[in-house]
Structure 1
Amino acid sequence: MSRFRTPALIVIGGAIISLIGYGIRGDFGLFQEPMLGTRGWSRETFALALAVQNLMWGLGQPIAGAIADRYGSGRVLVGGALLYAAGIALGAMAEGPVALHLTLGIMTGLGLSGASMFIVLGAFGRLLPPERRAWASGIATAAGSLGQFLFAPIGQGFIAAWGWQVALVLLAAAALPMIPVAFALRSRSEPVAAEAQQSLGAALREASAHRSYWLLIAGFFVCGFHLAFIQVHMPAYIAGFGLNASVGAWAIGFVGLFNTIGAYAAGVLAGRRSKKNLLAAIYLGRAAVIALFVLTPVSTASVLIFSAAMGLLWLSTVPPTSGLVALMFGPRYMSMLFGVVFLSHQIGAFLGVWLGGWAYDVLGSYTLVWWISVGLGVFSAAVHWPIAERPARLAAQGA
């Protein structure tokens, strides 16, 4: 590693990529109402496009992770950023559902798989010493949330000033600075001797035989369902109660702002406390917060309080989840193995986004999906309790 690329520079570079990539993605829900008003599509059509985006992000993540593990993270981040920007820009020109699903759905989703914070976390696992990984993961995750806070009012301002089509082009341009920053993460350290002997296929077989890995996969499915449903449908949900569109933007922004606190705190706690117990507490907290929100009359105050509470629990799942993957299997194939876990997250996201659109079109309400979210939060808390929090080889030996 070059002497100019210190651990601090690596963390800063990763944080900037997370801020831009996740920040822009947080704006897509703001485009639902203006795009439907112009194109005349159903809410389910728009929801399906973002559901496809989430699914393609998930399908692409293990592949992008495997390429990053083999050839380094820098190249993957550059390619992902270019595809991400192209998908967003071309989405502004989509005149039919197929074009929308291809651009904002498939292209943008695959771009995200290469330009995501999860490639950044894999790079941290290879480039940083073990004692700094959980802390750095918290920094990158918090930066992604800060991006959501910063980009939400920016995106809404772009829409209000120039319309949704110009706004998408401007957001696409905002993705391009990820390219030069990616060079801070371009090299990978040599794997440790014990892991150097293991092939990618052997790593997958070891993970697939490990019960705790499957429990982690099941729990992260719920995280994706929660985040995607709320991020995409929250602005439209509160608009249905007569609140101004700016409240929806501030709601998404508040989630990002308060998650800078929650994600950083989770990164610190994941390095000091039980990661599985921390995850169980986070999911139980989500279930309680969602239930209270559904049972409370909707107002500007209730929306912002809910957004702040959910923000504390939003991406705080990422540092302990990625930390458990690294603990179980080591850093050598972390990007790929965490990508498999993330695929489950994105399948949950696909269902959360699509089910929200379907429920509104068919039932005229999001209530059913809110209560499904509560039940899933309790389920996820339960599946984290029995996870064996130690290396997979030791767990297999009963150590």
Structure 2
Amino acid sequence: MNHSRRYSPTTILLCGGAIIMLSLGIRHGFGIFLRPMTLDLQWPRATFAFAIALQNLVWGFSQPFVGMVADRFGAGRVLAVGGLLYAAGLASMAQATTSLELALSTGVLIGLGLSGTYTIVFGVVSRAVLPEKRSLALGLLSGLASFGQFAMLPYGQALISHIGWWWALMVLAINVCLILPLAIPLASARGVSTGTSNVQQSVASALAEARAHRGFWLVTLGFFVCGFQVVFIATHLPAYLLDQGMSVDVGMVALALIGLANIPGSFLAGYLGGRYPKKRLLTGIYTLRAVIIVAFLMAPVSEWSVYLFAIALGLVWLGTVPLTSGIVAQIFGVQYLSMLFGIVYLGHQIGAFLGGWLGGYVFDATGSYLLVWIIAALLSGLAALVNLLADDREVDRRVMSSVPA
């Protein structure tokens, strides 16, 4: 890739947003493939759920290392390789006929592809914009990710309806290849600031600093809950609604509405994150999630209750991402943001693994998703508390470096 040309922060933001629209939009649509694939291939739902859960685990464990490579050597090649792995995973998913093949394609290949095409973008954009505009830019990124969910879900459902799930996956694999040209502006991005205290660090020093920071781990624990909720709902909501007697279109529309509502939700979270304490905003988001889930479970099931639930949840769906990544940048600076946010995202993906897998396991064991819904609501209270307790003050390395060893 040609690194000689410099692109504006706006171009970097828009191309990064387009990458995330493709990457996360397709990822949030895997739930619409659950029922047709398990019926055609005669798999239990736990087989599909385990592959999605493994995807999130692979994504999470690879993310810190992928972020480290992007921080040290640039994001362009990482994004290109991630896009190719993502496309290969989708194509291989279409060919899968056994649980092992599904796990290797949907779980391993797509998981690695996602690690190279999502949080990396947040690190690049964070370095490309001025610190005072960072929270808003990250909110815009999350909003574009939600627009991808809103657009790709009806698109994916239309593909399944007209050409079947096999061809739908092949078309999506071709679509993902658009990430390669979109990565070019991000490959040339240069940072406007390297850290809150302008002190350069080694990778080992940055890791040691984060490891000793209590607030870093509390924020990571809160993000674990986000992953559990998002992947459980994105994977199992369409099937849950079918079990309640709803049509297949209701589940698709519900997920699309979540994505649509999260466009203003993420933008607002980013905007407010530049003006109010991010940890208090996160506490509010997780509290609202608990209230929304409990209200959904208590309300009579109807199309309108589903759509109201989707809109309400969408407003607080991915607003956690700009706020959580913003806290990490606020504490440690942006020099190693891709790596450090990658570690936080590992917590998110461990939660995602449990949410995706537990949903299928509990359903196969009990014939109901109720227990997992209750767990999701209770975990929101935990996330609200730990974010409230997190120390989000910036690390002053000038003071630290003046202390004799």
* TM-score bucket (shorter structure): over 0.9
Question: Identity, % of aligned pairs?
Answer: 47
1:211-238 per-position Cα deviation (integer Å, ceiling 9, x unaligned): 1001001100000000000000000000
Cα offsets for 1:283-330 (capped at 9, x unmatched) = 000000000001112111111110111100000001110110001100
Query: For residue 341 of structure 1, what is the aligned residue in structure 2?
Result: 344
Which SS does the other structure have where 1:198 is aligned?
coil
Q: Which residue among 197, 207, 210 is the counterpart of 2:210?
A: 207
Structure 1 counterpart of 2:53, one-letter code:
A
Q: Is the 8 A contact 2:25 2:149 kept in 1?
A: yes
Separation in structure 1 between the aligned mates of residue 342 and residue 157 of structure 2, nearest angstrom? 31
Cα shift readout 1:182-227 (whole Å, capped 9, x = no counterpart): 1111134366486564110110000000010010011000000000
- Measured in 1, the distance between the counterparts of 2:189 and 2:140 equals 20
Q: How much is the aligned-residue C-alpha RMSD, in angstroms?
A: 1.6
- Tell me, yes or no, if the aligned pair for 2:194 and 2:333 is still in contact at 8 Å: no
Match of 1:318, SS state, is helix
Deviations 1:332-371 (A, max 9, x none): 0000000000000000000001110011000110000000
Q: How many angstroms apart in 1 are the aligned matches of 2:321 and 2:218?
A: 15
Whether contact under 8 Å (2:262, 2:318) holds in the other structure is yes
- Structure 1: which amino acid aligns with 2:61? L
Q: Does the 8 Å CA contact 2:126/2:138 hold for their aligned counterparts? A: no
Are residue 142 (structure 1) and residue 112 (structure 2) matched?
no
TM-score (norm 2): 0.95
User: What's 1:109 paired with?
Assistant: 111
Question: 2:10 and 2:85 mapped to 1: Cα distance?
Answer: 28
How far 1:151 moved relative to its partner? 0.6
Q: Distance in 2 between matches of 1:389 and 1:198?
A: 20
Counterparts of 1:357-396 in structure 2, within 5 Å, are: 357-393=360-396
**How far does the alpha carbon of each residue in 1:88-117 deviate from its partner, in whole angstroms, 9 at most, with x for none?**
11100001000000001110001000011x
Superposition deviation, residue 390 in structure 1? 1.4
Residue in 1 aligned with 2:403? none
The aligned length equals: 396
Corresponding position of 2:176: 175
- How big is the shift at 1:389? 2.3
User: How far apart are residue 2 of structure 1 and its match?
Assistant: 6.3
- Alignment-derived partner of residue 289 in structure 1: 292
Aligned residue for 1:125? 126
Please give the alpha-carbon distance, in whole angstroms, between the structure 2 residues aligned to 1:55 and 1:253: 25
SS of 1:313's partner is coil
Equivalent residue for 1:313?
A: 316
TM-score (norm: length of structure 1): 0.96
What CA distance in whole angstroms lies between the structure 2 residues aligned with 1:217 and 1:373?
A: 17
* Runs of 4+ that moved beyond 3 A: 1-4, 190-197
Aligned to 1:328: 331
Contact 2:358 2:372 in 1 (8 A): yes
Letter in 2 for 1:148: Q
Q: Distance in 2 between matches of 1:166 and 1:377?
A: 38
Question: Does the CA contact (< 8 Å) of 1:195 and 1:332 recur in 2?
Answer: no
1:65 equivalent in alignment to 2:67: yes
Mark the runs of 5 or more structure 2 residues left unpaired by the alignment.
Answer: 401-405
Matched, 1:185 2:186: yes
**In the alignment, is the contact (CA less than 8 A) between 1:210 and 1:392 conserved in 2?**
no
